[in-house]
A and B are shown apart, each in its own frame.
Chain A
């Protein structure tokens, strides 16, 4: 199975975020990490390769710093990487990101393309589905299980409230992968060593420029959310806090 995993680098979960001068984006002097759902997508691809043999290719778009995500993926067992390297890619909406990816992989023949179900920075949950439509491939989202069948694959879709659904579909297909589908592996020392020799194809903005267009939507402003809730801070020593909380529970919330 030849699998492409689309990965994104996002600010670390506990990174303190500050607005930049435009007020429409953040200052990028923060620590970054791989988008967690994408790590699960990569893990699933590696497991499928281990089961069925094949190749796992990882792709990302972003400035030089985003190469880290590809290096970690190669260290975990991906075979090669594609880096759409330009800081301009950060500002593209999901529609154009998907168009850039589609252009970058036009000469490849993948059986499956995985993305994480959504990103931890934007949280749109769209890029994978858009990519499927651009490629003319079937897709399924929020996948918790994947098995090869005679006619293609059988996937387990997660629905709300604890419901699930199996879906049979042909290949090639795009799947967006849910967190918790598997347990993430750590890169081994050997893996990290071997990663140094694995190819990373750089794709400059110019190569995909003709495929992308203006963004179809725009972040007008970014801001610290206005609080609508009145929050009371409970302070003091742990013993004092415990007493105050119980007092609230009894007298204000009336649950004790």
Chain B
């Protein structure tokens, strides 16, 4: 019997998180490389429709782990339920997307069974029959190939965008769905979550902007943001920022691009004084074109930039504003 890869997809309030298709694509790629069998699981309260959605993909089987105790999400319930699923199905490799929810429970689940998670991976290698998982370290400055030195099940989470959801192959026919009952006893769930809500009245939808001028710590002071705003205005684009700028209150939270803010894919993303920390990159690496300006030639942002300007943004932005205005005026 070949080993099994189990992809645990993510859902919230009855809707599949689209990043789940990336996890399926990852599972399919690893299955193709290793010859292992790919299965999937969805956990929640009332997941049969979601299980059918997943079953349309090329997977051998889908487990519907259904319990009212799994709605709303809590780490105690999810770790408890999935621990039972894993004990029953014994997969070799468990894949999940590196979402905030997965980060909240998968280390707990792994620890409960004496296992480990290689998290936030951006790819994998299959060398001489050994699986290695590639991940970024030191905020993207170096990459690491990591192996498991422990027994199965092995847990891996993949970074948003490491695989393409649209490459999750459809199955030729619907995969069989197996309902899985789990027992989450009284007193297991110790946390009481309230309603999920959005904090800021989102004044701007950055996902609709074709051009984004984004500032990071390199902007140095709040008053310098005015210059970046002028560039954004000249280009007919929107101003955005990395997390530290919004944490300092220099721009409102709805201008934040990154894992905690908005994920954008504009025609042009102009990164000014942004180093390229992973939490920021995941929010903008899908941009059609990236121009990065940073005085540090080693800044990780240059790994993903189409055009790199290693220099002082305070010297470069003012003439850039002038040139943009000239170009727009038709000269």
Q: Which of A13-21, A60-68, A69-77, A78-86 contacts B (4 or more CB under 8 A)?
A: A13-21
User: How distant is B111 from chain A, measured CB to nearest CB, in Å?
Assistant: 4
Q: Which of A17, A134, A179, A180 has the most CB of B within 10 A?
A: A180
- With A121-B138, A221-B145, A229-B304 given, is the CB distance from A158 to B75 under 8 Å? no
The digit string for A38-69, where 1 denotes a CB below 8 A from any CB of B, is 00000000000000000000000000000000
In the complex, the chain A residue whose C-beta lies closest to that of B305 is A231
How far, in angstroms, from A16 to B256 measured CA to CA in the complex?
28
Q: Looking at the complex, which one of A125, A132, A222 makes contact with B143 (CB distance below 8 Å)?
A: A222
Chain A residues with CB under 8 A of B193:
157, 165-167
- With A217-B147, A232-B306 given, is the CB distance from A223 to B327 under 8 Å? no
Asked if B87 CB lies within 8 Å of chain A CBs, one says no
Asked if A206 CB lies within 8 Å of chain B CBs, one says no
Asked if B136 CB lies within 8 Å of chain A CBs, one says yes
CB contact list, A195-242 vs B, under 8 A: 214-227, 229-234, 238-239, 241-242
The digit string for B112-127, where 1 denotes a CB below 8 A from any CB of A, is 1001111110000000
B146–A217 contact, CB under 8 A? yes
A13–B275 contact, CB under 8 A? yes
- With A163-B196, A225-B142 given, is the CB distance from A216 to B316 under 8 Å? no
A243–B323 contact, CB under 8 A? yes
User: How distant is A144 from chain B, measured CB to nearest CB, in Å?
Assistant: 9
A256–B328 contact, CB under 8 A? yes
Chain A residues with CB under 8 A of B262:
161-162
A132–B260 contact, CB under 8 A? no
B136–A123 contact, CB under 8 A? yes
A225–B143 contact, CB under 8 A? yes
- With A233-B310, A241-B316 given, is the CB distance from A220 to B137 under 8 Å? no
How many of chain A's residues have a CB under 8 angstroms from any CB in B? 78
How far, in angstroms, from A111 to B309 measured CA to CA in the complex?
50
The digit string for B305-331, where 1 denotes a CB below 8 A from any CB of A, is 111111100011011101110111000
B190–A245 contact, CB under 8 A? no
B307–A238 contact, CB under 8 A? no
- With A126-B107, A253-B289 given, is the CB distance from A13 to B139 under 8 Å? yes
Q: Looking at the complex, which one of B76, B141, B289 makes contact with A17 (CB distance below 8 Å)?
A: B141
B116–A95 contact, CB under 8 A? yes
Q: Which of B100, B202, B327 has the most CB of A within 10 A?
A: B100
Chain A residues with CB under 8 A of B119:
124-126
B146–A241 contact, CB under 8 A? no
A162–B149 contact, CB under 8 A? no
Q: Which of A140, A159, A216 has the most CB of B within 10 A?
A: A216
CB contact list, A118-151 vs B, under 8 A: 120-126, 129-130, 132-134, 138-142
Chain B residues with CB under 8 A of A124:
117, 119-120
Asked if A100 CB lies within 8 Å of chain B CBs, one says no
Asked if A33 CB lies within 8 Å of chain B CBs, one says no
The digit string for B269-300, where 1 denotes a CB below 8 A from any CB of A, is 00000010010000000001101000010100
Asked if B172 CB lies within 8 Å of chain A CBs, one says no
User: How distant is A152 from chain B, measured CB to nearest CB, in Å?
Assistant: 9
How far, in angstroms, from A134 to B268 measured CA to CA in the complex?
46
- With A162-B202, A238-B315, A245-B309 given, is the CB distance from A129 to B141 under 8 Å? no
How far, in angstroms, from A93 to B327 measured CA to CA in the complex?
54
- With A161-B263, A234-B307 given, is the CB distance from A126 to B117 under 8 Å? yes
CB contact list, A145-204 vs B, under 8 A: 157-170, 178-180
Chain A residues with CB under 8 A of B200:
162
- With A121-B138, A231-B307 given, is the CB distance from A218 to B147 under 8 Å? yes
B107–A231 contact, CB under 8 A? no
Q: Looking at the complex, which one of A11, A134, A160, A255 makes contact with B99 (CB distance below 8 Å)?
A: A160
Asked if A90 CB lies within 8 Å of chain B CBs, one says no
Asked if B244 CB lies within 8 Å of chain A CBs, one says yes
Asked if A249 CB lies within 8 Å of chain B CBs, one says yes
How far, in angstroms, from A216 to B199 measured CA to CA in the complex?
39
User: How distant is B292 from chain A, measured CB to nearest CB, in Å?
Assistant: 9
- With A13-B139, A224-B143, A238-B316 given, is the CB distance from A245 to B323 under 8 Å? yes
- With A17-B141, A161-B263, A170-B190 given, is the CB distance from A216 to B309 under 8 Å? no
Report the 3 A-B pairs with minimum CB-CB distance, sorted nearest first: A180-B247, A216-B116, A216-B150
Question: 26 A-B contacts, Cβ less than 8 Å apart?
Answer: A13-B275, A120-B139, A123-B136, A125-B107, A125-B119, A126-B103, A129-B105, A140-B75, A141-B103, A158-B100, A162-B200, A163-B198, A165-B195, A168-B191, A178-B260, A180-B243, A180-B246, A217-B146, A218-B148, A220-B147, A238-B318, A241-B320, A245-B323, A246-B324, A249-B268, A249-B324
Inter-chain pairs besides A132-B108, A169-B192, A255-B268, 11 sampled, C-beta below 8 Å:
A26-B142, A120-B138, A130-B110, A138-B190, A160-B260, A218-B146, A222-B143, A232-B306, A232-B308, A249-B324, A256-B324
